[in-house]
Structure 1
Amino acid sequence: MVVVPSPPPWAPPPELVSNHPALRHLLTCTSMPHFIQIHALAITTGAVTDNFAAARILSFPAFSPAGSLPYARRLFAANHRSDAFITNILLRAYASLPNPFPALSFFAETLDSSSPLRRPHPNTLALALKASADAGDLDVGKAVHGMALKLAEASDVSVQNFLVRLYASFRLISPARLVYDGIFDLNDASMNIMLGAYLNCGLLEDARQLFDEMPERRIISWSVMINGLVQNSLFSEALEIFTAMLVEKVDPNESVYVNALSACAHLGAVDQGKWIENHLRRKNFAATVRIGTALIDMYLKSGCVKNAFDVFDSMREKNSLTWSAMIAGLAINGRGEDSLRLFSSMEAAGISPNEVTFVGVLNACSHSGLIDEGAKHFKSMSWVYGIRPNVQHYCCLVDLYGRAGMLAEAEEVIENMPMEPNSAVWGSLLNACRIHGDVNLVERAGKKLLELEPENSGRYVLLSNIYARRGMWEEVAEIRRIMKKRRVTKTPGSSYVDLDGENHEFMAGDSFHSEKTAVYAKIEEMRSRLKTAGYKPRIKEVLIDIEDDDEKESSLYHHSEKLALAFGLIRSELGSTIRITKNIRVCDDCHLVVKMVSKIYGREIVVRDRSRFHHFKDGDCSCKDYW
């Protein structure tokens, strides 16, 4: 499907052109100098005295990418016959800005006692409610609600729709539902806004019920549902809805494709992602920067670097987000030097990097051990590009020094940060302690983490694991007592292996999988061949107090990624790549085993854990054991 663009809002209808021929030039206007000539002609021919013509003239500087909102504001001020329609054009333009406060300011001006427009139109109130929600100002939104009630406009469907949106944006589902239930003239927009309200508040069953009860589901309803599921991290469910949409022969729009690809990226479902790319081609869907960027992100988060490069190189237009996705993706796939080369190409192409770009650049330096280059790029953010580093960039800097064993420098960064370090910063420092060891620093970083995130089980587990590796079992027991007291439960380790578009999940010590007998038989075969190849188990990775070494070794073989690997060897075609996704960090022993298996069985294996990708081939890993 080729998307046919709708005419721009400043395009005049034929009947208006026949009355005011000067407006014909608006159809080909692409710059403000050209528009100023059209405006002058409209003044001399008297077109500006017609409010319909004046509205089209105002629309160009208000909405065109080549326009000028300050010029539109002067036009509005000069028109002493402005009505509600013209007012709403300017208000809508302000409301579409990333910063919603100018819209609220302009709305307040229209209420001035000297203004002939001090009784706002329902559409004006609706736009003010939208700006209030976007600005995160519930008090202003409530004031507009009160105004609508006072003016007897609260029953207008556009006002009610945006009231639902306002209250839902603050997760106030009861008032949102109260307004929704009072909509007499319920329309598609009303139902879609309420659907989004439920999803925004995490009320997924209510959202699904409303979605299923819709008399007719248009593209926007499918889009809202899929987007909401993705935002709630229900990626499998989002892909199920996407599939149902195709079955019902509803053509997806750009937003749906982007969200479906995002779901594939989070699941590591590369086969489904490839199917979506082929589907786009079959439909002749117009390639857009958003879809291209989403494809790149999906491939890189599935460990398919070549596919990502193919998409990147084929894109005619790329923005900073496209470049940033590629730079960050290469970094987490162990291609740090390629990531930095691409950053240089981005600079050479005249594309200005942003905050997101530098997160990728700093991660590339951190994962590749490029300490001096990472420090140089961190300084260049403010010195060269005028970008003030945020807490995420400082976190990357701590990680850069910490991975390299420069713990004093990492701690110094934290002490000199211009903002309060968050849990991610302290987590990076604690991870460095796990790699290089510093019990005193472990105590300080661990204490800070448990203060900042008392309900995050991962923080307790990391601290407990550090103690366990050093045989500090009393400290391990104390961490467990604190978890029990605070009712914090550990997230169990699990791994997924993607085969033929289907994800197969394994838990540590899994005894429930339908093919567990074959899997454990394969584990024993792997164990025998590994020992022949010289494998020595890293029993320090057994993080429970077991005295018998054989028992420790057996427990290592029941880690979820080894079970997933065994299943992949059984079910995948010879020579094909095995892709595994792990919900927590891969342990050192599993990393060693997968390296050796890649050589013994002649297979390429890609393991994605919570922080990066490991590409195993011929007994080597892309991380070069620096992770």
Structure 2
Amino acid sequence: MGLVTVLQLQLQPSLSFSLDFGGRFSCSSTSNSTLLRVSVKCSALSTPLSLGQIAMNCTEAVKGEKGNEVESTNILEFIDQCTNTMQLKQIHAHMLRTSRFCDPYTASKLLTAYAISSCSCLIYAKNVFNQIPQPNLYCWNTLIRGYASSSDPTQSFLIFLHMLHSCSEFPNKFTFPFLFKAASRLKVLHLGSVLHGMVIKASLSSDLFILNSLINFYGSSGAPDLAHRVFTNMPGKDVVSWNAMINAFALGGLPDKALLLFQEMEMKDVKPNVITMVSVLSACAKKIDLEFGRWICSYIENNGFTEHLILNNAMLDMYVKCGCINDAKDLFNKMSEKDIVSWTTMLDGHAKLGNYDEAHCIFDAMPHKWTAAWNALISAYEQNGKPRVALSLFHEMQLSKDAKPDEVTLICALCASAQLGAIDFGHWIHVYIKKHDINLNCHLATSLLDMYAKCGNLNKAMEVFHAVERKDVYVWSAMIGALAMYGQGKAALDLFSSMLEAYIKPNAVTFTNILCACNHAGLVNEGEQLFEQMEPLYGIVPQIQHYVCVVDIFGRAGLLEKAASFIEKMPIPPTAAVWGALLGACSRHGNVELAELAYQNLLELEPCNHGAFVLLSNIYAKAGDWEKVSNLRKLMRDSDVKKEPWCSSIDVNGIVHEFLVGDNSHPFSQKIYSKLDEISEKFKPIGYKPDMSNLLQLSEEDNLMEQSLNVHSEKLAIAFGLISTASSQPIRIVKNIRICGDCHAFAKLVSQLYDRDILLRDRYRFHHFRGGKCSCLDYW
């Protein structure tokens, strides 16, 4: 046995406490020839209130066992002084020894400390509760309250149901607010509505505390209209009521109503407080109303609000979200106190505006590199099209001793991996999640699934999907989206049916993905029927992305007139994306007249859309109208339209290599071009002829190098994949635009002649080339 140091405190002949340095605490008694021993395991030794003090205080309170009663007030004072669970367990042991645990008030005090104090331990609190012979309503409410704020608020309702069955007292005005809080965190509207009914039946519907909690519940559950109905019918309102309603409007995406309510509050002479101003500033930020936001900041200054960190942070957030980084910077520099929210708000604001040098300066100046700060910087790069930098920062964070990646960090890193097609890095993150026993919740599972799908491994995506025990609507939607990208429309429809059978209600994202699945698989009737069912059957009002999908479904199938008619009947104005879908369809099917109509409408909405020029130029070229091609090229030059840099990337051994059209900057360029020459020689005997129409795209006009089909970026990536990966490995490529027809034919032949799987993801979908065929069946 190893050396064990034991601290022995002999308090009375019949009562002793002992604690070894393994954290085991014992209390024993030998009174009246009986032995009572209570052992508890604790985790900390160093506490503000020492073990000796606790023990000595308990001794003084005992005063001997035969005739002197323990003063219950002393026990209550000891409980209040405890700063960790070990001390509470010492008190608990003493209460058991002296039978004080049988006193309902003292037992409830101990339960309160375990359930809702700074040193709470809900598992132990529940065990303590179960040992109370007849817990009163206060004890039930305390346990419900503790779980309402915990990571598992569902337990509050299980305890509540048990209370209804076992407690002789009916729930009171203190019970329901805690239940509404738990329902708010679960965001289950029906559950809160049932509780609302119970409040009415219990004649508690005029209680201000309950009604304020009810407004908060409806607001956080996405039902601001119901919150407003409660607010309007309240017999009396305090500032908390107004704050709750303003916040409900802000959370519910109704910032205009939130600001109007604040003005009404002013007219009724209800004095706002800090919480009011934070909610109003949040509404200004969501509305992106800088003018009103500045007025609110002046109001705060003129009405004597003392400097408050939360309020300053809310003003910072408003300035940043309204795009006024200079005002935010001035306020930040004046703040006497700053916390992690202050620093990360400024960092995030600069990063999202593309001021990366400023963002890094703020990051470097931080007194401590919190995980949230790393997350803000990594997320900003990932969301602003710089996934390579995001992953580099993630690696740097791992080397840092100040912060540890959390769920948000991993999600950002997975999203960056998905953008780059960096499957090795994404797989490493998956291993990291398993190694550190990180809970694969719905958010993390959705990102992991999406990463595998976008990196060309549909089977691994499906494995992740099946590994999630409780799938929410986003996990289901992501898997449907993955199948859509691979052109597996029938499988996507089957999964959609399984989702409905699992009683998961689809949302707008689900319908975007299932309509895309129908689009890529040519399932016209199924897609049209699903679109028509959205509102009447599922209660989802179609949004612009759903209209774009339907136009693309008709257009891709060659039903161009039907697509044009559908656009004319849209109840909302068609956007550039709608006209772009029609123009793309016209390009595939060579309809010049409709293409010109789509082009004109698209250019009115987006005058600098270079894609419109490219598509219409290709249509004219295929029709042999070279004069119009020339005019378009001149117009593009005169309009100074900036073209998106088109490129392809390939992940080889965890390193992402990127190629532009005609790229010769890669260290292996000579070998790559030699491989392309070899491929060309192999193609000659089988009669391969390049699709020369692709030379007419405007993207090829800059120099002679770009005028050759043989140097398209995806061909360079394929050649590099052939020379740098094992013959058993698939070649995984990501392209940032739609693959051209010639490169599609090229990839099919390479997959046949070299017996290699090629997975190419373009902007819209996946192409899996194998044995001279593509998974899209040339329907793309």
Distance of 2:379 and 2:312 partners within structure 1 = 23
CA contact (8 A) 1:76 1:82 kept: no
Cα deviation, 1:240-295, whole Å, max 9, x if unaligned, reads 11111111143211111111111111111111111100111111111110000111
Match of 1:563 in 2: 716
Answer yes or no: is 1:75 the counterpart of 2:191: no
Alpha-carbon distance change, 396 to 259 in structure 1, aligned in 2, over 3 angstroms:
same
Alignment equivalent of 1:157, drawn from 280, 284, 309: 309
CA contact (8 A) 1:365 1:400 kept: yes
Cα deviation, 1:77-110, whole Å, max 9, x if unaligned, reads 7799999889878877776556567765776676
Q: How does 1:181-196 map to 2 (within 5 A)?
A: 181-196=333-348
* Count of residues in correspondence between the two structures: 604
Of 487-496 and 306-315, more deviation after overlay is shown by 487-496
Answer yes or no: is 1:30 the counterpart of 2:163: no
Match of 1:349 in 2: 502
Distance of 1:236 and 1:60 partners within structure 2 = 41
Match of 1:295 in 2: 448
CA contact (8 A) 1:91 1:106 kept: yes
**Secondary structure of the equivalent of 2:415?**
helix
Match of 1:4 in 2: none
TM superposition shift of 1:313: 0.8
Answer yes or no: is 1:197 the counterpart of 2:343: no
CA contact (8 A) 1:598 1:605 kept: yes
Answer yes or no: is 1:171 the counterpart of 2:323: yes
CA contact (8 A) 1:366 1:374 kept: yes
**Secondary structure of the equivalent of 2:733?**
strand
- Give the AA of the match of 1:29: S
Q: How does 1:246-265 map to 2 (within 5 A)?
A: 246-249=398-401, 250-265=403-418
Distance of 1:544 and 1:268 partners within structure 2 = 26
- Give the AA of the match of 2:552: D
- Seq. identity, %: 37
Q: TM-score, normalised by structure 1?
A: 0.87
TM superposition shift of 1:20: 5.4
- Give the AA of the match of 2:642: T
Higher RCO (Cα < 8 Å, 6 or more apart): 1
**Secondary structure of the equivalent of 1:384?**
helix
**Secondary structure of the equivalent of 1:615?**
strand
TM superposition shift of 1:535: 1.8
Alignment equivalent of 1:529, drawn from 662, 682, 696: 682
CA contact (8 A) 2:486 2:766 kept: yes
Distance of 2:329 and 2:615 partners within structure 1 = 43
Distance of 1:39 and 1:577 partners within structure 2 = 68
**Secondary structure of the equivalent of 2:157?**
coil
Q: Unmatched 5+ residue regions in structure 1?
A: 1-7, 546-550
Match of 2:659 in 1: 506
Match of 1:180 in 2: 332
Q: How does 1:426-437 map to 2 (within 5 A)?
A: 426-437=579-590
Distance of 2:520 and 2:119 partners within structure 1 = 63
Cα deviation, 1:475-503, whole Å, max 9, x if unaligned, reads 12211222222211223432112111111
Cα deviation, 1:514-543, whole Å, max 9, x if unaligned, reads 211111110111011112233222222221
Cα deviation, 1:162-206, whole Å, max 9, x if unaligned, reads 101001111011211111111012222211121122223332221
Alpha-carbon distance change, 248 to 14 in structure 1, aligned in 2, over 3 angstroms:
closer
Of 302-311 and 90-99, more deviation after overlay is shown by 90-99
CA contact (8 A) 1:271 1:500 kept: yes
- Give the AA of the match of 1:597: V
Q: TM-score, normalised by structure 2?
A: 0.71
CA contact (8 A) 2:177 2:209 kept: no
Match of 1:324 in 2: 477
Q: How does 1:186-265 map to 2 (within 5 A)?
A: 186-249=338-401, 250-265=403-418
Q: Which has the larger radius of gyration?
A: 2
CA contact (8 A) 1:145 1:154 kept: no
**Secondary structure of the equivalent of 1:30?**
helix
**Secondary structure of the equivalent of 2:558?**
coil
CA contact (8 A) 2:651 2:732 kept: yes
Distance of 1:556 and 1:432 partners within structure 2 = 23
Distance of 2:644 and 2:182 partners within structure 1 = 54
Alignment equivalent of 1:133, drawn from 285, 288, 300: 285
CA contact (8 A) 1:88 1:124 kept: yes
- Give the AA of the match of 1:479: L
Match of 1:12 in 2: 116
CA contact (8 A) 1:331 1:364 kept: yes
Q: Unmatched 5+ residue regions in structure 2?
A: 1-111, 126-135, 147-154, 200-204, 213-234, 699-703
Match of 1:458 in 2: 611
Distance of 2:512 and 2:676 partners within structure 1 = 39
CA contact (8 A) 1:262 1:294 kept: yes
Alpha-carbon distance change, 474 to 539 in structure 1, aligned in 2, over 3 angstroms:
same
Match of 1:625 in 2: 778
Cα deviation, 1:90-141, whole Å, max 9, x if unaligned, reads 87777655656776577667656565xx2x3334423432243234444553
Match of 1:267 in 2: 420
Q: How does 1:298-447 map to 2 (within 5 A)?
A: 298-447=451-600
TM superposition shift of 1:601: 0.5
Cα RMSD for the two superposed structures? 3.5
Distance of 2:308 and 2:668 partners within structure 1 = 60
CA contact (8 A) 2:156 2:179 kept: no
Alpha-carbon distance change, 114 to 127 in structure 1, aligned in 2, over 3 angstroms:
closer
Alpha-carbon distance change, 310 to 261 in structure 1, aligned in 2, over 3 angstroms:
same
CA contact (8 A) 1:12 1:23 kept: no
TM superposition shift of 1:149: 0.6
Of 145-154 and 604-613, more deviation after overlay is shown by 145-154
Distance of 1:586 and 1:516 partners within structure 2 = 22
CA contact (8 A) 2:675 2:719 kept: yes
Distance of 1:416 and 1:138 partners within structure 2 = 37
